[in-house]
């Protein structure tokens, strides 16, 4: 039997790239870590597969140009938690899964983000791709490697009712060339 006194949660709860518009159930990524490059700048949803180019027509691709001499690549994650009737908000990013070679690994940095608007400087947190190697140079992810970044969100009313947004997971593929 359902408790009739339960406080209903907010409605229309979703993770998006902004407060309005057609980018619902998605988030965006911007190149972080003080790197001026743009190889990690993109929008995506659970239906999208984003490709990062390592090599292009025999030349270094954007990712290798931006991060080839760095121990770690950083992508800032930006999201907005849409909700009607909410008084508090929480979003959390994570690395859902990855398949990386050459000694590379992926990790998430950032605790729960407790505001509705995570589209400003620094976003809701960031993911890092640590490159293998060391003193003699760094090894980047290989052709066919991938990382899945997930953003979760929950909105709560002043009475304590909660509603979870559908998780949004973006798959980032590494391509050896075009």
Q: What is the pTM of this model?
A: 0.89
**CA neighbor of 168 nearest in space, from 48, 17, 15:** 15
Determine the pLDDT at residue 134.
75
Bigger pLDDT: 138 vs 177:
138
Mean pLDDT of 66-95: 95
Ramachandran angles phi, psi of 63, nearest 5°: -65, -45
Asked if 108 and 62 count as a contact pair (C-beta separation under 8 A), the reply is: no
Determine the pLDDT at residue 1.
44
Determine the pLDDT at residue 106.
98
Strands 146-156 and 88-99, sheet pairing: antiparallel
Ramachandran angles phi, psi of 97, nearest 5°: -170, 165
Determine the pLDDT at residue 162.
97
Distance, in Å, from the CA atom of 15 to the CA atom of 53, rounded to the nearest integer, reads 27
Query: Which pLDDT band holds residue 48 (cuts at 50, 70, 90)?
Result: low
User: Does position 164 have pLDDT exceeding 60, yes or no?
Assistant: yes
Distance, in Å, from the CA atom of 46 to the CA atom of 23, rounded to the nearest integer, reads 12
Query: Which pLDDT band holds residue 47 (cuts at 50, 70, 90)?
Result: low
Determine the pLDDT at residue 73.
93
Distance, in Å, from the CA atom of 77 to the CA atom of 120, rounded to the nearest integer, reads 10
User: Does position 42 have pLDDT exceeding 70, yes or no?
Assistant: yes
Determine the pLDDT at residue 178.
46
User: Does position 105 have pLDDT exceeding 60, yes or no?
Assistant: yes
Torsion of CA 57, 60, 62, 68, to 10 degrees: 160
User: Does position 51 have pLDDT exceeding 90, yes or no?
Assistant: no
């Amino acid at each position: 039997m359902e408790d009739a006194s339960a406080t209903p949660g907010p409605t229309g709860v979703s993770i998006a790239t902004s407060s309005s518009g057609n980018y619902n159930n998605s988030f965006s990524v911007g190149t972080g870590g003080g790197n001026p490059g743009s190889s990690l700048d993109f929008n995506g949803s659970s239906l999208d597969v984003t490709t990062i180019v390592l090599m292009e027509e025999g030349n270094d691709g954007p990712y290798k140009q931006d991060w080839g001499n760095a121990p770690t690549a950083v992508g800032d994650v930006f999201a907005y938690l849409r909700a009607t009737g909410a008084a508090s908000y929480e979003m959390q990013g994570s690395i859902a899964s990855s398949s990386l070679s050459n000694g590379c690994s992926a990790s998430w940095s950032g605790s729960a983000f407790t505001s509705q608007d995570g589209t400003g400087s620094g976003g809701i947190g960031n993911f890092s791709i640590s490159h293998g190697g060391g003193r003699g140079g760094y090894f980047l992810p290989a052709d066919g490697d991938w990382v899945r970044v997930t953003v979760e969100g929950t909105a709560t009313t002043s009475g304590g009712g909660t509603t979870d947004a559908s998780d949004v997971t973006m798959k980032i593929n590494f391509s050896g060339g075009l």
